[in-house]
Amino acid sequence: MRRHILHRTVSVFLLICLLLSFTACTKLRAKRLEFTPYYSEHIASAYEQTSPTLLMSEPVPKDFDKDASVLVPYFHYAVYKPSTGFAAVDQAAEAYINAQLDTTEAMYRQDAALNMDYTLDVLDNKLGQLYIYGFSCTLADQQPQGDMLRTALFYNAQDGTLFTMDDILKSETYANFCQMADDLLYSTAQIDISVTSITADAFAAAFQFHTEGLTLHFEAGTFGNEQSDAIDIGIDYETLAPYVAEPLYELLEETHLPLRGRKLDPTKPMIAFTFDDGPSKYTPRIAELLERYNGLGTFFVVGNRIDNFKDAFMRCVEGGHELANHTWEHKNLQTNSYETGYDQLTKTNKKIEELSGKKPALIRPVGGAVDDDVRRLSRDLKMPLINWNVDTLDWKTRDADAVYNECVRAAGNGSIVLFHDLYETTWQAVERLVPYYASKGYQFVTVSELLQYAEDATIVYGDVYYDQNSHR
């Protein structure tokens, strides 16, 4: 009897539980909330040529999960998908969006939604910056307080090449850049946390390149709930330059980033103007003239003149010109001993390096005079001997017209031209020669640059170089 009563009691209890469960589910279904997209309209920037595609989930069907024993969550989304016109960029954006749709749908066990939008900026028609952002949430709280999403895609706006972070920052200095960002973050907002603690997507989204430099923009909450306000860190281009990788540097060089080295075109003619016996009062004029035509010269200086014309020497250093060795006292290396020659050259090397911070690479023997001992000096010091294939005879004629005419007659692609920057007439001739050769498409290069583009660029110490492709 007791067993029968117990059995009936358990059955009644289970029936009550079932009814309660059914009632609860029915009530939950009755309370299923509607989804309202947070980003109700995409605000296009001036750089957008094509309207975005709105990806949006279907409304919940009336009969959705009506026969289910438990409430099945429904996933809503409203996502603006960008179209930049560049396949690689658009595919990367679509892949990111699809990944977020898949991830978010799997995250929630109740009705939830994903909202996503983007902004597009292009820096001087060169650097495209596509920022994709959004958030996921339950329908009970349709505000951007849930899982925030953000990333950025950078690309060459001229050809659509997509940049990775390794194309933006050099891998070998990446850690140093992050340390600099950490220091600036602390000094700006007193947040003692590393930028490496956030996701790669969140870090990329912080990069905003503009006319003056880079701003690292960290939205509120990037570093946790204690970060209640957005943080902006400014880095000017000069400070940023040492950390920038080649693809981005090449894109922004000169217009934003400072010139780094020179870009020479091996398909265009090159000529090396060289100047002996200086420095002198005419040296800065020559240097400045070459620079105006994006050119550089090679100045074979006499060591004991440097202190007397230190400003002229430093003007060449600051302009990036090549400073090379023409002995300490303008001594003929062929008519002096090996030991005297060694002293003349090493003393001059030391002086040049002391002021310029760079050891000279080339020797010009006084008078172009070379014998076996001079060749041995070249091998021992690992400095090639540089003569010329065009002597303007400026030292002899002291006539600007004669110097000009001789150079135009004899000098062409690959020439090493000999001048002396001691004479006003030389300056007057060079003042005409530089615009003349520039009008013919010539690039004014240093001797070292000229030899880098030789048919055989291997430097042979002990040989004498006469032009770009002649040495023996």
Q: Which residues are catalytic?
A: 276, 420
Strand duo 213-218 + 207-209: pairing: antiparallel
- 122, 87 contact by CB (below 8 A): no
Q: What is the DSSP string of 379-435?
A: HHHT--EE--SEE--HHHH--HHHHHHHHHHH--TTEEEEEETT-HHHHHHHHHHHH
| Bridge partners, 157 (sequence order) | none
Task: Report the alpha-carbon angle 462-266-292, nearest 5.
Answer: 95
What are the strands, taking DSSP E only, across 17-56? 53-56
CA distance 299 to 320: 11
| Bridge partners, 273 (sequence order) | 417
- 94, 106 contact by CB (below 8 A): no
Q: Could you tell me the end-to-end alpha-carbon distance of the chain, in angstroms, rounded to an integer?
A: 122
**What DSSP character marks residue 146?**
S
Task: Report the alpha-carbon angle 401-404-407, nearest 5.
Answer: 145
- 360, 381 contact by CB (below 8 A): no
